[in-house]
């Protein structure tokens, strides 16, 4: 009954950790495409092809349902995958919709027309590819009207986090927040549109100020998955073992991931 979790690197471990806390008896198979990270600087076709290959690998592990914990893959590849590639007996879900449902105070499956919501000015922090896709704005427009979104491509932040350089990552976050606030001085809400960014949530919050509500994905995705599996238990796959796989160097990724989550994580070759 395993569920697959995919990310281009180790950022999706924040989502895995939240899901494991919410659903402790659910086997989780994680695949990081570290050999091709970061995805945020790749074009849409490249991201699509890499993501499809990773999802097929997770299907082979008995994961009929795969979460794209990578925002870039969710933004640049998910819609195309769902419309043209995913078979009827499988499911691939992204991480944007739970965030937008929380932002717009909608329940899952609420397909009523878009309406005005309390939050009118939203700051989006994401990778360059996620920003370029405009996927967040597209999904938001299905549910809300009159919301102004200012997107900031946060170049360098993922690399700094993956390299364990917290000082550089913090400096880059503050710089990106300052750049956004020059264009949107008073956002009401900020969306951290990358699974690496929860590790910098306190830095984002401090730079944005106390009047800005910061939305981080991991907990929202975990709650959404729990609800989904209650309604659609047929997509619990045949897999029974939790494991961590990488296309990169397992020893190096294991060491980085252990630092990342502050508990021992052991990866094997995908």
**Tens of pLDDT along 82-133?**
999 999 999 999 998 898 888 888 876 677 899 999 999 999 999 888 899 9
Please indicate, yes or no, whether residues 47 and 88 belong to a single structural domain of this protein. Answer: yes
Q: Tokens representing 248?
A: 């990169």
Which residue's entry shows tokens 């965030």? 99
Please indicate, yes or no, whether residues 40 and 84 belong to a single structural domain of this protein. Answer: yes
Please indicate, yes or no, whether residues 120 and 144 belong to a single structural domain of this protein. Answer: yes
Which residue's entry shows tokens 């008073």? 186
Active site (annotated) includes residue 154: no
Please indicate, yes or no, whether residues 140 and 228 belong to a single structural domain of this protein. Answer: no
* CA–CA separation, 206 and 178 (whole Å): 12
> Is 195 assigned to a binding site?
yes
Residues 173-218: tens digit of each pLDDT: 999 999 999 999 999 999 999 888 988 999 999 999 999 999 988 9
Residues 227-261: tens digit of each pLDDT: 999 999 999 888 889 999 999 999 999 998 998 88
Catalytic residue, chosen from 52, 63, 154, 194, is 194
Q: Tokens representing 154?
A: 């946060």
* CA–CA separation, 88 and 130 (whole Å): 27
Catalytic residue, chosen from 52, 63, 70, 154, is 70
Please name which of 264, 248, 205, 192 lies closest in space to residue 15, comparing C-alpha atoms: 192
What is the count of structural domains for the chain? 2
* CA–CA separation, 14 and 201 (whole Å): 12
Please indicate, yes or no, whether residues 13 and 89 belong to a single structural domain of this protein. Answer: yes
* CA–CA separation, 258 and 265 (whole Å): 5
The angle formed by the CA atoms of residues 83, 57 and 259, to the nearest 5 degrees, is 110
> Is 7 assigned to a binding site?
yes
Please indicate, yes or no, whether residues 10 and 144 belong to a single structural domain of this protein. Answer: no
Active site (annotated) includes residue 70: yes
Of 175, 201, 217, at which residue does a domain stop? Answer: 217
> Is 71 assigned to a binding site?
yes
> Is 72 assigned to a binding site?
yes
Please indicate, yes or no, whether residues 212 and 103 belong to a single structural domain of this protein. Answer: yes
Q: Which domain holds residue 186?
A: 97-217
Of 180, 202, 217, at which residue does a domain stop? Answer: 217
């Amino acid at each position: 009954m395993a569920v697959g979790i995919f990310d281009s690197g180790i950022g999706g471990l924040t989502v895995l950790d939240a899901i494991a806390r919410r659903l402790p008896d659910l086997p989780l198979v994680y695949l990081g495409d570290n050999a091709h990270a970061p995805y945020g600087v790749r074009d849409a076709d490249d991201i699509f092809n890499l993501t499809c290959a990773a999802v097929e690998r997770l299907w082979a592990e008995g994961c009929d349902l795969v979460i794209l914990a990578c925002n870039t893959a969710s933004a640049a590849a998910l819609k195309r995958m769902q419309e043209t590639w995913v078979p009827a007996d499988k499911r691939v879900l992204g991480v944007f919709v739970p965030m937008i449902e929380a932002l717009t105070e909608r329940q899952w499956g609420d397909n009523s027309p878009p309406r005005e919501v309390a939050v009118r000015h939203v700051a989006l922090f994401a990778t360059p590819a996620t920003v370029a896709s405009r996927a967040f704005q597209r999904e938001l427009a299905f549910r809300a009207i009159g919301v102004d979104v200012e997107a900031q491509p946060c170049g360098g932040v993922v690399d700094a986090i993956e390299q364990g350089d917290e000082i550089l990552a913090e400096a880059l976050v503050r710089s990106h927040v300052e750049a956004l606030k020059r264009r949107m001085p008073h956002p009401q809400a900020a969306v951290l549109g990358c699974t690496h960014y929860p590790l910098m949530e306190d830095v984002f919050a401090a730079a944005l100020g106390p009047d800005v509500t910061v939305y981080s994905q991991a907990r929202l995705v975990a709650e959404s998955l729990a609800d989904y599996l209650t309604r659609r238990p047929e997509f619990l796959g045949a897999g029974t073992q939790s494991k961590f796989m990488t296309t990169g160097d397992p020893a190096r990724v294991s060491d980085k991931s252990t630092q990342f989550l502050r508990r021992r994580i052991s990866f094997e070759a995908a």
